[in-house]
Amino acid sequence: MIQVGERAPDFTGLTGDGKRLALGDFRGKQPVVLYFYPKDNTRVCTKEACMFRDHNAEISSAGGVVIGVSGDTAESHQKFSSAQSLGFPLLADRDATIAKAFGVARLGGWLPPKRVTFVIDREGVVRKVITGELNANVHVDGALEALRELSQH
């Protein structure tokens, strides 16, 4: 798994609304809270997504942007995002390319990715790694803490 201090692998993914999004789009502009989650419309994943939604204003005011990644289809992401009024992009990682690059794929991508959040600074360096399979709360709290630290430098 990618560790604190390492450069985040660049990637391009397809959002629920069919747009291409790349990590490089944010380089030099703003930090990224990149969170991997197992599956749309499951209990813990929905709770986690809604927590990111509910704290999105705080994340934005700390300079960050949220991007979610799972192996679900773009169509599934669109329905999930719409049903939960998420307001941030979800990337379809159908072949687990992004999850593999970050070291969070399970069984080579055959199973959903691990629940891991990476806070990546403006220069593309990972500043915080947050893990916790069943505790969605730690991901948002940890991301906010890391963004606040980044904004003070």
With respect to residue 28, please indicate whether it lies within any of the assigned structural domains: no
Per-residue model confidence as pLDDT tens digits over 12-58:
999 988 899 999 999 999 999 999 999 999 999 999 999 999 999 99
Residue tagged active-site, from 8, 32, 45, 104? 45
What is the reported pLDDT for 133?
Answer: 83
- Indicate whether 107 pLDDT > 80: yes
118, pLDDT greater than 80: yes
The answer to whether residue 31 sits within a structural domain is no
Q: Is the pLDDT of residue 151 over 90?
A: no
Mean pLDDT score across all residues of the chain = 95
Q: Look up the domain containing 66 and give its range.
A: 36-151
Global pTM reads 0.96
Q: In what order do the strands lie in the sheet with 90-92?
A: 20-22, 12-15, 90-92, 65-70, 32-36, 116-120, 126-131
User: Is residue 24 situated within a structural domain?
Assistant: no
Position 132 in a domain: yes
Do 43 and 18 form a contact (C-beta atoms < 8 A)? no
Does a structural domain hold residue 11?
Answer: no
Judge whether 5 lies within some domain: no
68 in any annotated domain: yes
Residue 13 in domain: no
Residues 123-147 pLDDT 10s? 999 999 999 888 878 999 999 999 9
Work out the pLDDT band at 5, boundaries 50, 70, 90: very high
> Which CATH number covers residue 110?
3.40.30.10
User: What does the block give as tokens for 129?
Assistant: 């790694």
Tokens of 127: 């500043």
pLDDT of residue 99: 97
Please confirm, yes or no, whether 50 is among the known catalytic residues: no
Q: Helix 43-54 crosses helix 74-84 at what angle (to 10 degrees)? A: 60
How many folded domains does the chain comprise?
Answer: 1
